Amino acid sequence: MENKKNFNIINDLDTAERIYPKSKLIKNIKIVHVILSLIIFAPLFLLFKNINFLKYSNTVKSSKIEKDVRVLGHFPYQEAAYENLIEIQPNILVHKGMYKSLKEMKDDAEKDGVYLVFLSGYRSIKLQKQIFYSLKSIRNQIASERARVSAPPGYSEHSTGFAIDIGDAYARETDFEESFENTSAFKWLKNNAAKYHFRLSFDKKQISVDYEPWHWRYEGSIEALKIFESSNRKTF
């Protein structure tokens, strides 16, 4: 039985060679090969392409969702626990995590003949609410106007305890003013603040928030870096 089967196969091949020249047969086999490859691999290619597209779509969606957490250009921040705060100056509280660096920065500035004064540190969400809505009403401002100079409650870096407003002890008229950038204090901070892990939060590149040369935030701990991660990855 096996010999007969083999004989039939040989006869079939002989017949094929007589009907089709060898080169033509090989060519046809190659064409069939290509067609089979397309039938097998085309769906796999389309499937892979769709998977990548879905991944890209999800990335874009995630990015959009992340952007949506901002309110009027400000990111949300949790309020620091009171037990994590310490007084750095009368009536000025800051997070214990940045106390040492802040004090060291102030002391070193004095050695260079520059006297820093702290204007505002930690602010509770309750206080931020008063600052935002009360002054908004007094100054007859719409929310977007007010948000350029003051964050909505729950969206202020000050609530974390890791933000500090700084002035020049010999130029108090520049407190909370853009003119602070012309003081010895600001020039010293610009050249030295990074050594103590402080950076300017709202520089001139911002779009939704006004330039604030007096407002600095601390980034010298994992806790602080995690808090400010979103704002470090985006511009306003």
Q: Pick the catalytic residue from 2, 212, 223, 229.
A: 212
Tokens describing residue 133:
């809505």
- Taken as a whole, the chain contains a residue count of 236
**DSSP three-state, residue 75:** coil
Q: What is the pLDDT of residue 84?
A: 98
Q: Give the contacts of 33 (CB within 8 A, at least 6 positions apart).
A: none
35 to 39, 141, 184: CA distances (angstroms): 6, 70, 77
pLDDT of residue 23 exceeding 60 = no
**pLDDT for 129 beyond 50:** yes
What pLDDT shows up at residue 10?
A: 43
State the Cα–Cα distance between residues 46 and 121, nearest whole angstrom.
Answer: 56
- When the pLDDT of each residue in the chain is averaged and rounded to a whole number, the result is 82
Q: Say how far apart CA 56 and CA 173 lie, in whole Å.
A: 52
pLDDT exceeds cutoff 70 at 50: no
Q: 77 with 156: CB under 8 angstroms?
A: yes
Tell me, yes or no, if 173 is annotated catalytic: no
pLDDT at residue 63, rounded to an integer: 47
Q: What is the pLDDT of residues 144-179, one digit of tens each?
A: 888 888 898 999 999 999 999 999 999 999 999 999
Confidence of residue 60 (pLDDT cuts 50, 70, 90): very low
Higher per-residue confidence, 143 vs 64: 143
What is 137-176 written as a DSSP string?
A: HHTT--HHHHHTTSPPTT--GGGGT-EEEEEETT-GGGTT
Between 69 and 106, whose confidence is greater? 106
Give the pLDDT band (50/70/90) at residue 57.
low
Which amino acid does the sequence have at 126?
A: K
* Continuous H helices in the chain: 2-19, 22-67, 96-111, 125-129, 135-138, 143-147, 184-192, 222-227, 229-233
Which pLDDT belongs to residue 236?
44
The token duo for 189 is: 């901070």
Does the domain at residues 82-233 carry the CATH identifier 1.20.1250.20?
Answer: no
pLDDT at 213: 98
Q: What are phi and psi of 207, to 5 degrees?
A: -105, -50
Q: Which neighbouring-strand residues pair with 200?
A: 216
At 229 the pLDDT is: 87
- Angle formed by the axes of helices 2-19 and 22-67, to 10°? 90
Diameter over CA atoms, the chain: 111
Domain span(s) for CATH 3.30.1380.10 in the chain: 82-233
d(CA 234, CA 182): 27
Could you tell me if 165 and 118 are in contact, meaning their C-beta atoms sit under 8 angstroms apart?
yes
pTM for this structure?
Answer: 0.69
